[in-house]
């Protein structure tokens, strides 16, 4: 018996977060949260506006609002090498694009910034950037390369090579550049919510870590269930889920800090404090 309300928790509807949903569902944890399923951009906005208490947020948006947020340890969406679903699709080599134009998919925050870092800092190529709807054929009609994420990017990974296009995996590119894993999204709690309801946040955090453990055990089952409704077969989905790194430990935090430092140098985000990011202590 309680006058507490359930924590308002966000969930990304993309395939890459399906393993987390699977585990939340199978463990029975959904009864303890008021779950809102939406796109990453909508969830980012809702968390920042205080309409959600706990939600996944793209790394760039987290860095922009780090003062108001506390990170949940152990859970993230990233990769330590190929991520398969954060891609640059391009007909000619990226190094030949000088003076050209790159279309940035509007559904991405962190992926498009990573692409810009790689193109300008690592490849030393100077291009113009335009923001567009994430539709690869339309993007390539008006640009030399298209940066896309999520299901659109995963489809491009398998289909673009048949059309003579090259797919540059941004998880691989970041690892080759820095030797580190890339973190694309983190789970954050509004700071004042974490201070007022540490016990609830602890329970939600435990639900996520249990969910991930359960999903690792049932990954093929989860992939088979998802393939009923998705344009990918069960084996492709299982391979995708295994490529993703859902952890946020010391190695991932080192990758996160390296990205944060580069993003701050570019003036895209405020610098992270020396002892940042602020982590929830479960």
* Interacting residues with a copy of itself (CB under 8 A): 1-6, 18, 21-22, 25-26, 28, 30-32, 222, 225-234
45 vs 203, beta carbon nearer a copy of itself: 203
Q: Rounded to the nearest 10 degrees, what angle do helices 219-227 and 18-26 cross at?
A: 110
Please identify, using beta-carbon distances, which residue of 42 and 225 lies nearer to a copy of itself: 225
Q: State whether residue 155 is helix, strand or coil.
A: helix
Cβ proximity to a copy of itself, 228 vs 275, nearer residue = 228
Q: Which is nearer to a copy of itself, 22 or 241 (CB)?
A: 22
Nearest distance from residue 229's CB to a copy of itself, in Å? Answer: 5
Q: How far is CA 202 from CA 4, 105, 186, 209, in A?
A: 15, 35, 16, 11
Residue that has been written with the tokens 């430990």 in this structure: 249
Q: Are strands 182-190 and 69-79 parallel, antiparallel or unpaired?
A: antiparallel
Residue placing its CB nearer to a copy of itself in the complex, 193 or 232: 232
Locate 154 and state its tokens: 């995963």
CA–centroid distance for 160 within its chain: 22
The CB-of-127 to a copy of itself minimum distance in angstroms stands at: 36
Kindly state the greatest CA–CA separation across the chain: 65
Helices (H) and strands (E) in the chain, counts: 12, 10
Least spacing, CB of residue 9 vs a copy of itself, in Å: 13
What is the distance of C-alpha 213 from the center of its chain? 19
Nearer to a copy of itself, 1 or 274 (CB): 1
Residues 6+ apart with CB under 8 A from 158: 236
Minimal distance in Å, beta carbon 3 to a copy of itself?
6
237, 227 contact by CB (below 8 A): yes
């Amino acid at each position: 018996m309680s006058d507490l309300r359930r924590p308002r928790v966000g969930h990304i509807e993309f395939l890459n977060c399906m393993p987390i949903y699977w585990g939340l569902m199978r463990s029975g944890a959904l009864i303890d949260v008021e779950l809102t399923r939406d796109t990453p951009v909508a969830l980012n906005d809702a968390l920042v506006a205080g309409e959600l208490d706990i939600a996944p947020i793209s790394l760039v948006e987290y860095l922009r609002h780090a003062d108001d947020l506390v990170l949940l340890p152990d859970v993230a969406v990233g990769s330590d090498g190929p991520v398969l679903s954060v891609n640059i699709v391009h007909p000619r080599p990226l190094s030949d694009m000088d003076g050209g134009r790159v279309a940035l998919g509007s559904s991405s925050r962190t992926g498009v910034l990573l692409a810009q870092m790689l193109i300008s800092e690592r490849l030393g190529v100077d291009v113009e950037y335009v923001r567009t709807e994430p539709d690869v054929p339309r993007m390539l009609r008006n640009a030399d390369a298209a940066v896309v994420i999520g299901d659109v990017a995963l489809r491009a990974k398998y289909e673009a090579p048949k059309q003579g296009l090259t797919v540059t995996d941004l998880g691989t590119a970041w690892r080759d550049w820095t030797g580190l894993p890339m973190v694309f999204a983190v789970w954050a709690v509004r700071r004042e919510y974490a201070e007022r309801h540490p016990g609830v946040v602890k329970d939600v955090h435990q639900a996520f870590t249990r969910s991930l453990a359960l999903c690792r055990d049932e990954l093929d089952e989860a992939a088979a269930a998802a393939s009923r409704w998705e344009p990918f077969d069960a084996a492709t989905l299982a391979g995708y889920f295994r490529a993703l790194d859902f952890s946020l430990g010391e190695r991932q935090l080192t990758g996160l800090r390296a990205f944060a430092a580069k993003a701050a140098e570019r003036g895209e985000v405020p610098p992270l404090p020396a002892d940042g990011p602020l982590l929830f202590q479960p």
